[in-house]
Amino acid sequence: MSADIKDRATPSALEVRGLCKSFDVSAPWLNRVIERRERQILRAVDDIDFNVPRGGCLSLVGESGCGKSTVARIVTGLHRPERGEMRFAPGNSGQPMTAQMIFQDPYASLNARWKVFDVIAEPLRELKLRSGKQAIRDRVNELLEVVGLSPADGAKYPHEFSGGQRQRISIARALASEPEFLVCDEPTSALDVSVQAQILNLMRSLQDELGLTYLFISHDLSVVRHMSDRIAVMYLGRIVEEAPTEVLFARTRHPYTQLLLDTIPDVRNPHRDRPLRGGEVPSPLNPPSGCSFHPRCPFADDRCKREKPKLMTCDDGAHIACHRVEESGGLPAGETVSA
Ligand code: SF4
């Protein structure tokens, strides 16, 4: 599928090709011998390609277990890829950019024993970005104000803050290392809906002010809609649809993307019937043959059970892995897949 993603006009901050990652989740050797069990390998990321547009936002979306957080961890260097290439473009310093991560859980990602000042000052000291107490203090105060907190908050401990405020502290800490590329792993999923909007608005305005590039991870298409320039939908370790945001919402083509859209609550019609189609995600330890979505897909036929669909390029910049879409020539503009 590598050849499919070549036609992006925007320069890329990050190009990823053929990325694979597996985990050995086997029981200990002795248990396997006694219980005559095979080794178990979990294919978390299976040959994916994507580009993150420079100064823009690519969102990876999918249900839990689809591999999106593994991708985030590979991009930030927390996991080593098994195969594939990752190429960061040069940043403002002329050196390849490095990615900083904003974690999902603002409760667990901050050291509860440190005051907020020290949490934010640590990268400044470690990376020698500021020297001298006053310069560090000025920068920490500046970062607290950038994320909508006050310099006085530096004297408090993380437990004295609400979830949204803690996520602001996490963002300030990430910004302390002066990154140009941020990987945001479900940064709002632990927060109340009203607070989610505030954090997303903050992230958007920081992107505009500081020229940041985001790789945004979420299970919720409605969250990423207003953040993203492009959206890549993942299912069981593979990208099944990748498109500019407006194209993906205007012409949803992959049946799995349609399923994700069907699960978004509708505030104008909160009691509408939203049939749960297709049941649970199959185990990634034993993925289905052919198109791994076929047990849940209302359009699955024999070919789907046999043959893995390739990611094909449509003339509106979308990339779809689905036999049905391929056979219909990518579907004409305005048409969407429906059951
Ligand atoms: Fe459904 Fe077949 Fe398309 Fe897979 S390839 S999404 S099973 S129609």
Going 215 to 219 to 223 to 224, the CA torsion angle's sign is positive
Q: How far is the CA of 222 from the centre of ligand 1 (A)?
A: 23
Give the C-alpha separation, 258 to 251, whole Å. 10
* Sheet-wide strand order for 99-102: 99-102, 181-185, 213-218, 57-61, 230-235, 238-244, 319-320, 312-313
Q: Which of 297, 336, 337 gets mutated to test ligand 1 (max ligand atoms within 8 A of its CB)?
A: 297
Q: How far is the CA of 63 from the centre of ligand 1 (A)?
A: 17
- pLDDT value of residue 1: 41
Cα–chain-centroid distance for residue 38? 32
CA-nearest of 307, 315, 250, 333 to 324 is 307
238 lines ligand 1 (CB under 6 A): no
Show the domains of the chain with their CATH numbers. Answer: 12-266 (3.40.50.300)
- pLDDT value of residue 42: 94
- pLDDT value of residue 330: 63
pTM of the model: 0.87
Q: What atom in ligand 1 is closest to the CA of residue 297?
A: 1
Give the C-alpha separation, 48 to 314, whole Å. 18
- pLDDT value of residue 54: 93
Q: Which of 238, 254, 256, 291 gets mutated to test ligand 1 (max ligand atoms within 8 A of its CB)?
A: 291
The pLDDT averaged over each successive group of 10 residues in the chain (339 residues) is 48 95 92 90 94 95 92 94 94 86 84 94 92 94 94 95 92 93 90 85 92 94 90 96 95 93 70 61 90 94 95 91 86 46
- pLDDT value of residue 275: 54
